[in-house]
A and B are shown apart, each in its own frame.
Chain A
């Protein structure tokens, strides 16, 4: 048991525990906040594994952007304070499905690796990742920009306000 083993175990426990709380709590906002904890713990695991860039990207994008977006969405749509009773659905099918898949995958991975070890010779810093991306994965990387462009266009198509009207009525009628 090295220090990193202990850290990994601890962070893993935090991640799983927080994830359980996300699905069991009746407070929508709290669920979002537990998500921060869970995703943050995963970022911690990356750090322990010396994948520093990935860890910070995780923090920036998931903890920073995604959860914030989620919380904003909750606030803008219903903004509940206190527990939401309609979230109370029988949980056992979900437990069966989620627990089953989780345990199954865990068993699969444990069985696959057993006690074999993997050398961790290089740290995952920004330079190494950048080199990899622009050497081996330059094409997928560039195509990702196309994907983002398509997503951008799609977001506009789906969500833009009413077009093609010469505004016969003032915009404060709530039609926009």
Chain B
């Protein structure tokens, strides 16, 4: 028995707490939120202790099978957990950031009647997310994957009075289903070709797979990851999902849940390492999404929307990292962790601003707030500098190596993806500076009902300060003192030093120059505030305001045909076969006309379709018999 055998407690504690909160109902209203916080806090402490235990072990991976889940023929699926460096890091991120969000939510949700329920869903989410990263096979990962999905719809739908929340929930569901289908097919493909879904067996068997199978597997996993992480072409749901409810639940979609896609690809690194085409696809998706995200981010005026698109863009960087392979896996994970800190800081800061401004989210109606909310201002400042990647804040240490790694690719793709990453850095600096400046500096453009904005209560500002400290220190610490890269080596492989197409120093200098230029441009443009209403603009800005027409594209290519198909089917269902028969027979009895209004379909038309089907089936069987098909 090892201490790590009890790692299931991590999942059980939030799960039990969620159960208590949701089952007890109103009886738990008074203390429910504290139970919610405590369960995640305990999970964090427990996770830390497991982490330390693992550090002390020689074998940095502990797998434990709890019970047999599904014995289906050759496939044995167990409920099994795996605690290794990669899952350990994610456990700390999920419970750590999760705990801070919980504490913050106690303050933010204080006036809300549904606070207990909110914490119930929240704990459910944490439990599912932990299951996702702790499972030792793909089926467990999928169970957690769907679990976070369900919890996420519940959280999106929490503000169900707003129609936009309902629409957002639907969109999230649709796009996630596409990704989920891909993931399920990938899992079945593993089972079909390798006979197992255990990580250990799958990765050991990668060498036995053919090129085509590996590519298919890689692309399916990528599509699954895109669905959950809001990457192109499934990116549209993510910003909408963040728009609906509070910054608190938006944060789930920023710091934790959406990183599941990155986790999936990093976890499956042996599969991607074995197939460079699949890797190139990941890189391309990452590069494209990071550009889409930051370009659209420039054109948005809603503080949460900007942060939402910024999340899409930052996850693009992470995909770029995991796609580059080799040492870049660890870089992507480090960026993910750092992003967890500063994006949390930004979202919670935005929440604090909204709290002060009567739920106003339009940055054109902010301005000059630095004087009124100093703590929020300070922490936001730190997070802003961190995300645009100025040294010595954490973004610099985590984003810049990814850019360098992009330049380390072979051939012309190094230039393509390297410059895409650089350009992305510049645009990120532009839109984040715009956001920051318009919110906290410049002239006041408040709506009339706001007299004197006030700083948020300590229960909200303390997490902010903690996150700001993390934003300052985390990046540098993780790269140097904590050497997260080495820690992750057993899972993700060695970091191999490769030649970049430009010297490292030049790339570093370029990225800093680009960042400063982007920020300076934004400062120059928005130093004196901005117009209160949307101004007519050129084609580029208009396109960006319309999400680069991706929604329109989805609508034209998927929604419209879907609607027409549905209409056609409704018609067919209600009168199609009847209509057909009527056209043939040209008579409808008087008595049957009355029935017709009540229910669709005549027995005779049903009998006709059964007969037609029967003839087809018999014909097919006879065709087999006489060998017509061969």
A–B contact at 8 Å CB threshold (below): yes
* A residues lining the B interface (CB < 8 Å): 86, 89-90, 93, 97, 100-101, 104, 108
Distance to closest chain B CB from A78 (angstroms): 12
Q: 4 smallest A-B Cβ distances: which pairs?
A: A93-B584, A89-B587, A90-B585, A89-B585
Nearest CB of chain A from residue B624's CB, rounded to whole Å: 14
The interface residues of chain A lying within 8 Å CB-to-CB of B615 are 100-101, 104
- The answer to whether B584 touches A97, judged by C-beta atoms less than 8 angstroms apart, is no
| Interface, chain B (partner A; CB < 8 A) | 581, 584-587, 589, 608, 611, 615, 618, 622
CA distance in complex: A45, B615 (Å): 28
- Say whether B611 contacts A97, CB under 8 Å: yes
Q: Which chain A residue has the least Cβ–Cβ distance from B608?
A: A97
**Chain B residues with CB below 8 A from A100, complex form:** 615
How far in angstroms is the closest Cβ of chain A from B175?
46
Closest CB-CB distance, A77 to chain B, in whole Å?
12
Q: Return chain A residues, CB-CB under 8 Å to B584.
A: 90, 93
B-side interface mostly: helix
**C-alpha spacing A50/B175, complex, angstroms:** 70
For B622, the chain A residues whose CB sits under 8 A away are 108
Q: Closest approach, in angstroms, between the C-beta of A111 and any C-beta of chain B?
A: 9
Cα–Cα, bound, A108→B621 (Å): 12
Q: How far is the CB of B612 from chain A (nearest CB, A)?
A: 9
Q: 6 A-B pairs, CB-CB below 8 angstroms?
A: A89-B587, A90-B587, A100-B615, A101-B611, A104-B615, A104-B618
A-side contacts of B618, CB under 8 Å:
104
CB distance from B546 to the nearest CB of A (A): 53
What's the Cα separation between A93 and B611 when bound, in Å? 12
Nearest B residue to A97 via CB reads B611
**Shortest distance in angstroms between B523's beta carbon and chain A's nearest beta carbon?**
79
Q: Which of B586, B589, B608 contacts A90 (CB 8 A)?
A: B586
- A101–B607 Cα distance when bound, in Å, is 14
In the complex, what residue of chain B is closest to A88 when comparing beta carbons?
Answer: B587
> Which residues of chain B have C-beta atoms less than 8 A from A86's C-beta?
589
CA distance A90 to B615 in the complex (A): 22
Q: Which residues of B contact A90 (CB under 8 A)?
A: 584-587
Beyond the given pairs A89-B585, A90-B586, A97-B608, 9 more chain A to chain B contacts, judged by CB atoms under 8 angstroms and listed by A's residue number, are A89-B587, A90-B585, A93-B584, A93-B585, A97-B611, A100-B615, A101-B611, A104-B615, A108-B622
Q: Closest residue of chain B to A107, judged by CB? A: B622
How far does the alpha carbon of A100 sit from the alpha carbon of B619 in the complex, in Å? Answer: 12
> How many whole Å from A112's CB to the nearest CB in chain B?
10
Which chain A residues lie closer than 8 Å to B581 at the CB level? 93
Cα of A64 to Cα of B149 in the assembled complex, Å = 68
A89 CA / B602 CA spacing, docked (Å): 16
A101 to B618, CA, bound (A): 11
- Taken together as a complex, chains A and B put the C-alpha atoms of A104 and B622 apart, in Å, by 11
The docked-state distance in angstroms from the alpha carbon of A103 to that of B336 is 71
Docked CA distance A104–B586 (Å): 27
